Amino acid sequence: MSHTAHIPSHRKPRRSASKVSLRAGVAGGVLSTIALAGAAAPAIAAQPVNETIEMPTLSGDLATTAAATVQATKAVAADLQLQAAQDAAASTAAKDAKKAKDDAEQKAAEAKAKAEAEAQAKEKAAAAERASRSAERTTLKAASASTGATSFKASNATGSAAAIVNFALAQVGKAYVSGATGSSAYDCSGLVQAAYRQIGVDLPRVSQDQSATGTDVSLSNLQPGDVLYWGGKGSAYHVAIYVGGGNFVGAQNPSSGVVERSLDYDAPSGAVRIL
């Protein structure tokens, strides 16, 4: 190869001076622009804002759908709260009703047990009373049927008084029935009236009037056939017949019937003599 031949260089070709100058000018212009903008920024910021930038709004259909969704969510939440409150109220009411029912059933069972116990106690008492009454009547009948007892009573009474006493003793053991005048049952004044009817004396029907008939007699000076009374004279609530020996015969009450008792058993308030 000739020494004068052109050998290509491996170096990059140097940029031309014009291009370098152009680039420098552009860069300088950009920097200048930035500097001017920075200097002008405070002045711009100091100016009042006369315009408002509006945010983009949802379209009509989308806004309506969103509002409906919110309302539906609120409605569902309200329904759930209402249902929860109703369920709680129903549960409380059911518990209260069950408790009230249990209490009522327990009280009813207790009342029934108490009533049954009382009924049994009353039945036992009634049975004991009937047995006692039966034994008492048997004893009284046996005593009145005894010859010795009858003669003792009769020996203290004569004439009409004996008839009254014997009639009264014969009624011992019969039943007491309010308003009854014989012959299977008596009340107190009914027995006295029936006894005096044996001798043809018609006494008033009730104890108040019988206690006001005849002559007052001291309890220490009684004679067979005298009428005993309990309560005030003219307002007596009970009467009987004195049969002698410190005893009287009277229709006492539904439990005792017609009995013979000692004056000490129930001392009378006073006495009247009719014979």
Residue 139, pLDDT above cutoff 80:
no
Q: How much is the average pLDDT of 82-99?
A: 90
User: How far is residue 243's CA from residue 157's CA, in Å, rounded to a whole number?
Assistant: 8
pLDDT digits (tens, 9 = 90+) for 188-225: 999 999 999 999 999 999 999 999 999 999 999 999 99
Please give the residue that has the higher pLDDT: either 119 or 184: 184
pLDDT computed for residue 195 by the predictor: 97
Topology at the third CATH level for domain 159-273? endopeptidase fold (from Nostoc punctiforme) (3.90.1720)
Q: Does the CA dihedral 223-249-189-232 come out positive or negative?
A: positive
Residue written as token pair 């001017």: 36
Q: How much is the average pLDDT of 106-131?
A: 81
pTM across the whole model: 0.46
Mean pLDDT of the chain: 79
pLDDT computed for residue 33 by the predictor: 47
Phi, psi (5° rounding) for residue 228? Answer: -95, 150
pLDDT computed for residue 50 by the predictor: 56
Grouping H, G, I as helix, E, B as strand and the rest as coil, residue 118 is helix
Q: 132: cis peptide before it, omega within 30°?
A: no
Contact (CB, 8 A) for 203 and 213: yes
Residue 138, pLDDT above cutoff 60:
no
User: How far is residue 32's CA from residue 38's CA, in Å, rounded to a whole number?
Assistant: 10
pLDDT computed for residue 121 by the predictor: 83
User: How far is residue 214's CA from residue 196's CA, in Å, rounded to a whole number?
Assistant: 13
Grouping H, G, I as helix, E, B as strand and the rest as coil, residue 226 is coil
Q: Does the CA dihedral 222-227-233-235 come out positive or negative?
A: positive
Residue 141 amino acid letter: K
Contact (CB, 8 A) for 271 and 206: no
- Could you give the C-alpha distances from 16 to 6, 12, 55, 275, in angstroms and in order? 22, 12, 53, 182
Contacts of 131 (CB under 8 A, 6+ apart): none
- Could you give the C-alpha distances from 44 to 30, 35, 49, 127, 240, in angstroms and in order? 20, 14, 10, 123, 137
pLDDT digits (tens, 9 = 90+) for 140-173: 445 444 433 433 344 467 899 999 999 999 999 9
Domain regions of the chain by residue span = 76-142, 159-273
Q: How much is the average pLDDT of 123-133?
A: 68
